[in-house]
Amino acid sequence: MSAAASTREGSPALGATGLVIAGLICQEVGAAFAVTLFPAVGAVGMVSLRLAFSAAILMLVFRPRLRGRSRADWMTVVAFGLSLAGMNVLFYEALARLPLGVTVTIEVLGPLILSVVVSRRASSWLWAVLAFAGVALLGRGGFDSLDPVGVLFAAGAGGLWVAYILLSARTGTRFERLDGLALAMTLGALVVVPFGAATAGAAIIHPQILLLGLAVAVLSSTIPYGLELLALRRLPAATFSILLSLAPVLAALAGLLILGQQLGAIDLVAMLLVVAASMGAVHAANRRTTTPEVTP
C-alpha cells in the first residue's frame, strides 16, 4: 500500500478523533461554567437549566414521532430519562463539593467496571485494581478530606452512568436518530425542573442566568452529542470509548483554567492511573465484544 493511500485511509479516523476530543473539551468546559452558576441557582437549578434547554434543542431539531410507539418503547425511554436526570443531579451535586477533575475521575469508575464485566477476562481485573489504586491516591488523606458526601454523589453518578450506557444502547435500537434521547431528555427535564425552580427561586428565570444556562446546555450536550454522532460514523466504537477515557484529564484542565482548582502532583498521577486503567479495560472488553457507547 502506498503512503498516499495510507494517508487517505487514516485521515477520516484522525478527523473523527479530533471531533471526539473537541466534544470532550466542550463538555468539560460546560461543566466548569456550570459550577460558576451554583451560587445563584444551586446544583439542582443548574441541572434544570441544562436539561430544559437541551431537551428544547433536541426536540426542535429531531421532532420525534410520538404516535405508534409501543409500551416497551415508552418504558425504555422513561427509564432512560430517569437515569439521565439522576446522573446529572448527582454529578452536579458532586461538583458543588469536589474539584471537577476529581469528580470525573471517581465518576468514570462506573463505566470502567462495566467494561471489566463485559470483558470477562481475568486480565481486565488488573485494570480495575489499577483504577482503584488511582482513586485510593485521591483519597490518600482519607476521603473525608475530599468531602465524603461529594465522593458518594460522584460514585452514584458513576453507577447511573452505567445505567445510562445500557439504556442508551437499548433506546438506540427502538428509536431512530436521536429521537429517543430527545424524549428521554424531555422526561428528565419534566422531573427535575420543578425541584430546580423550587430551590433556585426567581433567580432561575433571570435573563443572564438563562443565557448562561443555555450556553452550558449547548456546550455540555448539543455540541458533544453532534460531534460524537459525526465521529461514530467514521470511528470504531472501541476507539471512541478509549478516547472518552481522557475525560478526567480534560476535566482537571478545565477546572484549573476556568475555576482555578489546583491539583497536586499525586492527584495528577492518580488521574493518569484511572485514565490508563480505563483505556486498558475498554481495549480488553472490545477484544471480546463491542463495547456500548459511553456518553456523559
- Please indicate, yes or no, if residue 187 is contained in any of the structural domains: yes
Question: What would the mean pLDDT of 229-238 be, rounded to a whole number?
Answer: 68
- Please indicate, yes or no, if residue 118 is contained in any of the structural domains: yes
- Please indicate, yes or no, if residue 64 is contained in any of the structural domains: yes
pLDDT of residue 104: 86
165-187 pLDDT, tens digit per residue, is: 788 878 878 888 788 888 999 99
155-159: list long-range contacts, CB under 8 Å, 24+ apart: 155/106, 155/107, 155/109, 155/110, 156/86, 156/90, 157/87, 157/90, 157/91, 157/94, 157/103, 157/107, 157/110, 158/106, 158/107, 158/108, 158/109, 158/110, 158/111, 159/110
pTM of the predicted model over 0.85? no
Q: In three state form, how does the secondary structure of 240-287 look?
A: HHHHHCCHHHHHHHHHHHHHCCCCCHHHHHHHHHHHHHHHHHHHHHHH
11-31 pLDDT, tens digit per residue, is: 555 577 788 888 889 988 999
Q: How confident is the model at residue 119 (pLDDT cuts 50, 70, 90)?
A: low
Please give the DSSP secondary-structure letter assigned to residue 291: P
- Please indicate, yes or no, if residue 4 is contained in any of the structural domains: no
- Please indicate, yes or no, if residue 212 is contained in any of the structural domains: yes
Q: Which of 80-94, 117-131, 235-249, 254-268 has the highest mean pLDDT?
A: 80-94
- Grid cell, residue 239, equals 476507539
> How many domains does the chain fold into?
1
Instruction: Please give the Cα distance from 113 to 21 (Å, whole number).
Output: 23
- Please indicate, yes or no, if residue 158 is contained in any of the structural domains: yes
pLDDT of residue 195: 94
Question: What would the mean pLDDT of 79-100 be, rounded to a whole number?
Answer: 92
240-283 pLDDT, tens digit per residue, is: 666 777 788 888 888 888 888 877 777 778 778 777 776 776 66
- Please indicate, yes or no, if residue 152 is contained in any of the structural domains: yes
Placement of cell 439522576 in the chain: 86
pLDDT of residue 40: 92
Instruction: Please give the Cα distance from 103 to 81 (Å, whole number).
Output: 22
DSSP secondary structure letters along 31-68: HHHHHHTHHHHHHHHHHHHHHHHHHHHHHHHH----TT
- Please indicate, yes or no, if residue 205 is contained in any of the structural domains: yes
Whole domain around residue 51: which residue ranges?
A: 14-288
